Structure formats: structure tokens, C-alpha cells
A and B are shown apart, each in its own frame.
Chain A
């Protein structure tokens, strides 16, 4: 393994002699794809934090599975989610991508700003790809949310005010049909007829919503206008000529039998995770892999450029039978008293799933470079320490080479606000703003990322 300061000190001047300076640092191209990956309830910090130095570090047990892609990782250590104010878990997931506090009284509100994925989507994806962005979740809304969208489980927020939360897609079969159904070249006539019909219907709906809106008072009008906006977005995506690319790297992922997985199991759950649907839980690794494959291919096929994968809602109420764990994640984190060994096992498994995602992205050739090279993948949680619900020293990872991100490093900051990271990620996509989220908790972009 090539490591150590000595080797670098010798190598650099020699490289500069080789020709005009053309390093990634000089003028990196903006990143082209963004993924956000969420795992619930934090980590076990003393089993998560690497050891060593910035460029020469050893991954600790929880991150150890990621060793094969260590040179594609940027471990971003020492950030505090200072903007995460409000209820314990909710404030965390609200702030994770928005950098805003939870609004309103206790356990009530959502965030008050857009999430970075939606800001990025508006910049590089909306109107340019068939889908502006894709939100996917595995076993979601299983606890207190009672199957409903709630501040406990909403990570994505619309770019336009009033920044409403965006529900994720849950059903693998529906996601597959939505994303890759059109890749099937058969049924051309049917598809054309269907499109014509859909366009007329949307046209009709556009007129109806406009007419209804015009006759309503302000508050009601806003609701109808919001719906109208969505209808226009669908109209726009239908009329967009951007069909998925025919690049050789683009092919529908292999669909697996998910009949043993009910994405809505537990959506009628009670507050506290009595529901332990082990039959459906056993399919989570398989479904998670399929979800990952679909996300990667959605990017590779240019169906979208922005995605989110939520492995669960904040108070994850599913079990891990494949890890021989019979209680739900939140039970080990808090409900049943903090159980670090079990939490470590779960976090370790999530690292393995993340390894799979990054390796799949690395495999895909986008014409001389990999999909991972042009992407930024943000991996995070809403807490750091499960039992205390602390949000200091967040377990954040970046990966990929998009926007000139310099990976293979463990960067340590001293309690800087995580909003600084959010604005830095936006900068990687060519957005030049210097603050994001609640400005009281943002002191400018992080240095030393690119």
C-alpha cells in the first residue's frame, strides 16, 4: 500500500514537471449526481470513529466494511447539528438535509426550508431528466407516525415555499415500473396512445384546477395551486423529450421476487413498535439491495440525477432477523435501554450496504470515468449517540469524486455546524452560495473538502 508523507513529498514536484498543471483542484467540474443515504438513530461513536491521521487512517469496527472503498470516502468528523432544535429524533431528521429547526411546538412541526437534495435537483435535474429526483424508503413510518407522513420520518423538503415534506416511495414493484417500465421497447403503440391520453387528461386537469383556484379564498387557493403545480410538473415531464439514455451502462436492474415483502406492513403501527413483522423484515436485505440497484441505475440511465434512500424512519421499528436480532432497532437504541453491541452490529450491517452502493456506482462506466467519480454521496443519520439523542460529532460520510471532492481522507473539525457541510455540498454542484439553512447555525462552507 502506498502510504506515508515521504512518498508524497517526493512524488508531487515530479508530477508538476510532467506538464501544465491540470489537477482536479484547479477547476473541478461541478458534480453531476447526488445521493443522500439515511440510517436511523445514530451510531456507537467509539466504535465508529477512525484512528490515525487525515490521509492515513484505519476504519474502526462500524466503518470497517467500507475498507475496500476507503480511498473513495471522506469521513467528515466533528460536525454538530446545531440547527437541529426541537424534538429528539424529529429535530434531527428535519435538520439533516435542511439545516433548519423544527417549527412550532414540541413534536409538531416540520422544517422551514428546502432540503439540499431538492435544491440540487432544481439545479441539475428538474426539467432536464424524466424525474427531478427520486425518494425511496425501506420499512418506513412504522412507529409513532402510524403509517402517516410525519416530522419523525420526513427527510426531504420541497425547494419552493412553503417547503412541504416529500413522502418517499415504498413499494419496490411500483418503483421498478415507474423508473424502468419505459425501458421496455415493446408496446410502442400502446405507450404512444397512453401518452396522448395522459396528456389530454392533464390538460383537462390543468384547466379545472385553474378554474377552481380562481374562485377560492387565499388559504384554500394555496392548496389547489400546490396541486396544480404538481400537475404541471407531471405535464412537463411527459412532454420532455429526454428519454432515458441508451448508454451501454444503462440497463434495468434485475427485478427480484418481492412477494414476501409488504412495504406497508406496520404502516398502521402503534406508537411503540409492538409490531414486529418478522416475515416481512426478513426480506429487507433483498429489498434494500434492489432499492439500491434501482437508485444506481436511475442515475446511470439519466432518469434522474438526485436520489434519497431512507433505510427506515427515525424510530426504526423493524427487526433484523438476518442478524439474529429479535427486537427492533429503536429498542436497542433506547426503548429497551442502550445496547451498544446490538447497535454496533446493525450499524456495521448498514456499512456493508453502503459499500455495495458505492461499489456498484464505481462499476458503472460513464465514458472514461465511473458514476461514482461524478457523484456526491452523503451518508448520515439524525443523531450521533442513541440513548442521549445527542447531535454532536455526527457520523457523516461523503463519498465520490463529484465537484473535485478529495476522498481517501478523514477530516476532523472542531464542533463546526453541519450547515457548513450542507452549503459545501451545494458548492460542489456549482451553487455558489455561502450559507444554507438557518444562518445562525452556518458560518460558511467547510474548508479542506476539495
Chain B
């Protein structure tokens, strides 16, 4: 499809393919629906890689294993939800003292309370009857609890729960276009901002018609972002965008890095997440300010590792950085350690992270034909990384791609394999100069690099793109161009404010209309 020309005053509904709950969303949803805090979805087979967040609707597929495991997981949740009289009472007060005569009526009460929330829409009478029939099958030769469990098991596997099904309703002003219903809009908002089902307040807002205008949606988006329930969504996003999620398992040679441990790794991840949360919710909160913040968060143990004096206790607190050595998110220990293979730094990995994740420049992996011509350099030859990786610039076959990646990585060489600042490597003074592709050009070192990145339009629009793909659960294509353009423009207008970006994501035509043919 040709990319559309985006004109003012024309509605570009964008794509909204059918989405299945991800494991992250499933866990949050059963927590809110049934109080199940066991994160049961982690035993489901993993999602497809797709857009990097596991929620790319275009690549999600259902294997036999997934269908089977969804049943197993639902069975476990249903059992926990009906295991004790107290658990049953939480489903409906009538369940705490059912008698033979009141059982069926109570089962109906439970269904009428649970099903509309599980389906995120009103349930028709016939649907409730069908669920009640399931209760009767489960109750046969078994207990009341077993009957209720059967219903829950079915609810959790039904398409109405697992998929975000949108039917829409004609737009009163432009009847040829369809818009999400109030309930569907509540669901869109809730999964985007909280990664879970709508709460009572959102459902009531939907009933009251508050979500039928962009202004109404904006007001709720603002409320939802101020709610602590939005925090896990930010954590999830950054855990998947940044190389920090596995720092707690990071291993380094103890002789070379005696002060590093897995605990330090996990504290680094916490440092990054704390910093981001503070900056977004209490600080300036723009992507450029995040990239160049002169402060970070550490506790005593992490401060000792970095050599920052005067921090005591387990609590994280804000400390100023020596801005000749570090500046902003990218120079944090976790990002530097998380972009290093082993005990030696690897400028390719660091450069590739910046280019691909932060600048949305995709670097093709070498194909078999190219690799057959060359052997990769031995990472243990040469005194400095620049020396070790010199083959990449000498060999024209490698240089085609590496000329983009390596010079970005070289600018981070002041941080070793555990993210500590260093001026020399093997007795040789490090030359941290580098080059960034596109318009940014040469940089003198890491501080210069992050400042240039923070001032780059490409970096801002890439960040907006990453959030769009995560928030809308897809990979942006040519046909999504108007949506992307609208978001980029709004992000720019906000001064690149991250919270504002999320609000703007609820203001696009793509968020307020259904694509034609989708009804």
C-alpha cells in the first residue's frame, strides 16, 4: 500500500489489528479480576519477538502448545479462586454460605459479576445462561466450588477475555466511520496505560459517555498517568527497550572486576528504573532531559561501587554526577554493562544499541555470503577496543555496516565491562572520540555523544515510534504514516515530554477510529 498523504481535516483511522493479551497483560488482568498475584502467565510459551515488546498483533499466533497451556493456566487460576470459603466469598458474598437451594442462584450472581468484567463489556442474557450450564456440568458429582471453577476456567479461555475484540459504533458526525464503543475505548486506554483491564472508574466513565470525545479521553489519560498503576507499564517498556532486564544475572570475571557482583547488576537496573521514574513523574520528564540528566539514583552499596562518597543505607537517593565523566541515562553503569558481552567491552554492541533502539536505524546482520569472506576479529588481540576492532574499518566488506556502529561504540570506551569509568585500557590512554551517522557527525567522547543524541530529531522521533509501537501493539508500517507523523509532531510540540507523548498517543485518529473494514 502506498503511504498516504497526510492532510489536515482528514481522518486517518490507522490499523488496529486484533490483539491477544500478552503474558504481562494476562498477569495484570487476572490480578485485577480475581486477585491472583501468582503471575501465572509466565508458564505460557513466549510471545513472538515482533516489535520487541511481545505485543505485535501482526505476528502473534496460537500454537497447540499455547492453546493447551492457556487451559492449564486457567485451571490453576480457577482452582485458586475457589479453593477456600474466603476465596469464594470474594467472588460474591452469597458464596460464603450457599445451601442446596441457593447454589444455582449464587452461581448466576457470580457469573453476572465476573463475566462483564472478564469480557470488558456487558454480557447478554443468553451468554450468562450458557456459562450457567457450564457451572452445572462442573457441579455434577462435585462441589459448588468445582462448578464455579469450571465457569472461571472457561471465561479465562474465551476469545472475549483473551482478545481485545472491537466492533465499534458509527461516528454520529461521520457515519461512514466507526469508533470504538465506550467500553472498547476504556479497554484501549487501560491496556495502553496500565497494561490491564479497566477499573470501575473507567467503566463508569465509559457508561457515562465520557470517552466519546478526544477531550474526555485526554482527561482520563491524564488521571491514569498520575495513578501509580501506570508505573509498571513504564518499567516494562524500558526493561524491553534498554539492555537492563538481565543485569541481575550478569556475570563477570572476579579477578578482573572484584567489586562487581550480580547484586550490583540488579542495583544498576534499579538505578535506571528509579531514575526514569523520577525524571518522568517528578522531574523535567523530556527524553532529551533523560539523556542528559546531571544526576542519578544510588544506594550505599551501589555508591561504593561507583566511588560516590556520602551515601548510606539501602534506600536509593538522588546524587549529582561528575559531569566530566557521566551524563544522563546512556552513561549509567547498567546500560554500559548491559551492552557488553563478557569481560571486554564491545563497541559493536554498544553502537548497534544506540543506532537500532534509539535512532531506529536498522543495521542488517551480515549474510552468509559476507561472512564466508571474513572471520570476525579476535576480541583478545590488541590493547584497546579500537585496535581490536580495527579490522572492521580496514576490511571493506565489514566496513559497509561497521562504519556506522563501531564509531558510536568507541565513544563509550571510557566505561569498562561493568560500567565503571576508566581513562586507560591496558596502560594505553583511551581515545573516546567517535562518529554518529546521519547529521550528528563527530563527537569527542561520551558526554559530547549523549548531548548530540539528546539534540537530535532522529532520536526524538525514534523514541516516539518505539512508544507508538508498544502502545498500539504493532509494528508501524507505511500505511501508519499519518499516525506516526501526528505523534512525532505532537511530541515535538510538547518539548519531547514523555508523559505528554503517552497522552498524545490517546489523541490520534488511530486511537479514536477503527480502520475501514474492521467491524
Residues of B within 8 A of A4 (CB): none
For A229, the closest partner residue in chain B by CB is B62
> What's the Cα separation between A170 and B335 when bound, in Å?
30
- A149–B48 contact, CB under 8 A? yes
For A385, the closest partner residue in chain B by CB is B372
For B493-519 the 0/1 string (1 means CB < 8 A from A) is: 000000000000000000000000111
A267 adjacent to chain B (CB < 8 Å): yes
User: Which of B39-47, B403-411, B433-441 contacts its partner?
Assistant: B39-47
A227 adjacent to chain B (CB < 8 Å): yes
User: Which of B133-141, B311-319, B462-470, B478-486 contacts its partner?
Assistant: B133-141
> What's the Cα separation between A165 and B47 when bound, in Å?
11
Query: Of the candidates A135, A145, A171, A273, which one forms a contact with B49 in the assembled complex, judged by CB atoms under 8 Å apart?
Result: A145
B246 adjacent to chain A (CB < 8 Å): yes
A366 adjacent to chain B (CB < 8 Å): no
B251 adjacent to chain A (CB < 8 Å): yes
A68 adjacent to chain B (CB < 8 Å): no
> What's the Cα separation between A277 and B249 when bound, in Å?
7
For A127-169 the 0/1 string (1 means CB < 8 A from B) is: 0000010010000010001111111000000100000111111
Taking CB atoms and an 8 Å cut-off, the chain B residues in 126-157 that contact chain A are 130-131, 134, 137-138, 140-142, 146, 150, 153-154, 157
- The tally of residues in A whose CB lies under 8 Å from a CB in B reads 83
- B349–A391 contact, CB under 8 A? no
- A88–B157 contact, CB under 8 A? no
Residues of A within 8 A of B198 (CB): none
- B375–A198 contact, CB under 8 A? no
Tell me if B's interface is mostly helix, strand, loop or mixed: loop
- A233–B67 contact, CB under 8 A? yes
- A224–B43 contact, CB under 8 A? no
Closest-CB distance, A83 to chain B (whole angstroms): 12
- A227–B159 contact, CB under 8 A? yes
User: Which of A12-20, A50-58, A215-223, A442-450 contacts its partner?
Assistant: A215-223
Scoring A107, A167, A168, A273 by chain B CB atoms within 10 A of each residue's CB, the highest score goes to: A167
- B48–A390 contact, CB under 8 A? no
A388 adjacent to chain B (CB < 8 Å): yes
- B142–A336 contact, CB under 8 A? no
For B20, the closest partner residue in chain A by CB is A223
Residues of B within 8 A of A264 (CB): 42
Residues of B within 8 A of A148 (CB): 46-50, 54
A255 adjacent to chain B (CB < 8 Å): no
User: Which of B29-37, B160-168, B169-177, B216-224 contacts its partner?
Assistant: B160-168
> What's the Cα separation between A85 and B162 when bound, in Å?
36
- A106–B43 contact, CB under 8 A? no
- A226–B48 contact, CB under 8 A? no
For A109, the closest partner residue in chain B by CB is B59
User: Which of A205-213, A290-298, A423-431 contacts its partner?
Assistant: A205-213
For B167, the closest partner residue in chain A by CB is A215
A230 adjacent to chain B (CB < 8 Å): yes
- A233–B64 contact, CB under 8 A? yes
> What's the Cα separation between A233 and B47 when bound, in Å?
21
Taking CB atoms and an 8 Å cut-off, the chain A residues in 44-96 that contact chain B are 84-88, 91
Residues of A within 8 A of B45 (CB): 149, 167
B66 adjacent to chain A (CB < 8 Å): yes
Q: How many A-B residue pairs have CB under 8 A?
A: 208
For A331, the closest partner residue in chain B by CB is B342
Residues of B within 8 A of A218 (CB): 517
For B203-238 the 0/1 string (1 means CB < 8 A from A) is: 000000000000000000000000000000000000
For B357-378 the 0/1 string (1 means CB < 8 A from A) is: 0000010111110011001111
Residues of B within 8 A of A166 (CB): 63-65
- A335–B368 contact, CB under 8 A? no
- A227–B62 contact, CB under 8 A? yes
For A213, the closest partner residue in chain B by CB is B159
> What's the Cα separation between A135 and B68 when bound, in Å?
14
Closest-CB distance, B180 to chain A (whole angstroms): 14
Query: Of the candidates B18, B48, B162, B362, which one forms a contact with A150 in the assembled complex, judged by CB atoms under 8 Å apart?
Result: B48
A201 adjacent to chain B (CB < 8 Å): yes
Residues of B within 8 A of A164 (CB): 61, 63
Query: Of the candidates A171, A217, A219, A335, which one forms a contact with B519 in the assembled complex, judged by CB atoms under 8 Å apart?
Result: A217
A115 adjacent to chain B (CB < 8 Å): no
- B376–A227 contact, CB under 8 A? no
> What's the Cα separation between A198 and B78 when bound, in Å?
13
For A387, the closest partner residue in chain B by CB is B375
A432 adjacent to chain B (CB < 8 Å): no
Given contacts A148-B48, A166-B64, contact A274 B341 (CB under 8 A): yes
- B64–A200 contact, CB under 8 A? no
- A274–B249 contact, CB under 8 A? yes
A266 adjacent to chain B (CB < 8 Å): yes
- B342–A146 contact, CB under 8 A? no
A183 adjacent to chain B (CB < 8 Å): no
For A151, the closest partner residue in chain B by CB is B49
- B364–A106 contact, CB under 8 A? yes
Query: Of the candidates A147, A226, A337, which one forms a contact with B61 in the assembled complex, judged by CB atoms under 8 Å apart?
Result: A226
Given contacts A171-B43, A266-B249, A389-B368, contact A204 B240 (CB under 8 A): no
> What's the Cα separation between A333 and B184 when bound, in Å?
50
> What's the Cα separation between A148 and B61 when bound, in Å?
12
For A327, the closest partner residue in chain B by CB is B342
For A209, the closest partner residue in chain B by CB is B159
Taking CB atoms and an 8 Å cut-off, the chain B residues in 327-342 that contact chain A are 337-342
Closest-CB distance, A335 to chain B (whole angstroms): 6
> What's the Cα separation between A208 and B154 when bound, in Å?
10
> What's the Cα separation between A132 and B65 when bound, in Å?
11
For B516, the closest partner residue in chain A by CB is A217
B398 adjacent to chain A (CB < 8 Å): no
> What's the Cα separation between A338 and B167 when bound, in Å?
55
Residues of B within 8 A of A276 (CB): 249, 251
- A275–B366 contact, CB under 8 A? no
A272 adjacent to chain B (CB < 8 Å): yes
Query: Of the candidates B138, B142, B158, B365, which one forms a contact with A205 in the assembled complex, judged by CB atoms under 8 Å apart?
Result: B158
A370 adjacent to chain B (CB < 8 Å): no
For B363-403 the 0/1 string (1 means CB < 8 A from A) is: 01111100110011111100000000000000000000000
B17 adjacent to chain A (CB < 8 Å): yes
> What's the Cα separation between A271 and B241 when bound, in Å?
11
B243 adjacent to chain A (CB < 8 Å): yes
- B134–A200 contact, CB under 8 A? yes
For A307-341 the 0/1 string (1 means CB < 8 A from B) is: 00000000000000000000100010011111000
> What's the Cα separation between A209 and B245 when bound, in Å?
36
> What's the Cα separation between A147 and B48 when bound, in Å?
9
Query: Of the candidates B52, B160, B364, B380, which one forms a contact with A337 in the assembled complex, judged by CB atoms under 8 Å apart?
Result: B380
- A230–B246 contact, CB under 8 A? no
Scoring A147, A223, A331 by chain B CB atoms within 10 A of each residue's CB, the highest score goes to: A223
- B372–A388 contact, CB under 8 A? yes
B116 adjacent to chain A (CB < 8 Å): no
Closest-CB distance, B194 to chain A (whole angstroms): 21
- B368–A390 contact, CB under 8 A? yes
6 A-B pairs with the lowest CB-CB distances in the bound complex, closest first: A230-B67, A106-B364, A337-B378, A220-B18, A167-B45, A164-B61
List 25 interface pairs A-B (beta carbons < 8 Å), by A numbering: A88-B367, A135-B65, A148-B48, A149-B47, A150-B48, A169-B65, A171-B43, A197-B138, A201-B154, A204-B158, A215-B167, A219-B18, A223-B20, A223-B61, A227-B67, A230-B67, A234-B67, A270-B245, A270-B338, A271-B349, A272-B339, A274-B250, A274-B341, A335-B379, A390-B368
14 new A-B pairs (CB below 8 Å) besides A158-B63, A164-B61, A205-B157?
A87-B367, A146-B245, A166-B65, A168-B65, A196-B137, A201-B154, A220-B18, A223-B61, A224-B18, A224-B159, A234-B67, A275-B250, A335-B342, A389-B371
Interfacial residues, chain B to chain A (CB-CB below 8 A) = 17-18, 20, 42-43, 45-50, 52, 54, 60-68, 71-72, 130-131, 134, 137-138, 140-142, 146, 150, 153-154, 157-160, 162-163, 165, 167, 240, 243, 245-247, 249-251, 337-342, 346, 349, 362, 364-368, 371-372, 375-380, 517-519
